[in-house]
Amino acid sequence: MLNLGQQLPRFTFCPKCGGVLKGFWDSNIPRSACVDCGYVFYENPVVGVAGIVLNGEQQILLGRRCRGQYSGYWCIPCGYVEYHEEVHEALQREFKEETNLDIEVLNPFTAQSNFHDPDRHSVGIWFWARIIDGSLSPGDDLDELDYFDLDDLPDLAFPTDRKVLEMLHKYVATEIIRWKASP
């Protein structure tokens, strides 16, 4: 769990009526409530999605970020789910924006909490994905795209991507052994 310390409140005004929010503790969880209308503001995590695309050599497609504090570091192509979006559609949109590729979103590989940004707790869902169209070209927040061996990765932007890629490396190695052992 993220250690929030005495971080109360982060927001000042009520999203319902515009009144002042006052911080309080609810079962050891920091919350804010409006002093005018009583609305309790639950600061929930945002949802992110990422697409795992492997090529025929079992290499992972990564993008190098070109903006913000993670500029120059690599990540699995990813982005946030907009309020009105379904998660699969969000991944298709984000993947297209960042790679110029159209993908088919397959099964989830894993879901993880991301605590690397102290201003934003997010929950990420990493999906298996398959390229169905397009030509590889970086866009949006990325300036380079490349495939990497799972045991020889570049410097990664996000600690959770490192965790996911370690899980993926173990999974792929297990599947290759299982495949070779099959009659």
Report residue 139's pLDDT band, with 50, 70 and 90 as the boundaries: very high
Per the document, the length of the chain is 183
CB atoms < 10 A from the CB of 80, how many?
A: 15
At residue 121, the pLDDT reads 82
Domain hosting 143: range is 46-181
Say whether pLDDT at 181 is over 50: no
28 plus 54 within the same structural domain? no
Q: Name the DSSP letter for residue 59.
A: P
20 plus 101 within the same structural domain? no
20 plus 64 within the same structural domain? no
At residue 6, the pLDDT reads 47
User: 3-class SS at 170?
Assistant: helix
**Structure tokens of 93?**
């949109």
Greater model confidence, 177 or 105:
105
The span from the CA of 75 to the CA of 51, in Å, is 10
Q: Characterize the bridge pairing of strands 78-80 and 46-52.
A: antiparallel
CATH of the domain at 9: 2.20.70
The span from the CA of 95 to the CA of 122, in Å, is 18
Burial class (CB within 10 angstroms; exposed 0-12, middle 13-18, buried 19+) of 90:
buried
Say whether pLDDT at 175 is over 90: no
At residue 160, the pLDDT reads 95
70 plus 30 within the same structural domain? no
Concerning whether 166 is annotated as a catalytic residue, the answer is no
pTM summary value: 0.83
Q: What total number of domains does the chain contain?
A: 2
What confidence tens digit (pLDDT) does each residue in 5-23 have? 445 557 889 999 999 999 8
What confidence tens digit (pLDDT) does each residue in 150-162 have? 999 999 999 999 9
Active-site entry in 82, 97, 98, 144: 144
The span from the CA of 125 to the CA of 114, in Å, is 10
> Mean pLDDT of all residues in the chain?
89
27 plus 109 within the same structural domain? no
Greater model confidence, 53 or 68:
53
CA dihedral 180, 162, 131, 69 (to 10 degrees): -160
CB 50 within 8 A of CB 88: no
At residue 179, the pLDDT reads 52
What confidence tens digit (pLDDT) does each residue in 107-119 have? 999 999 988 777 7
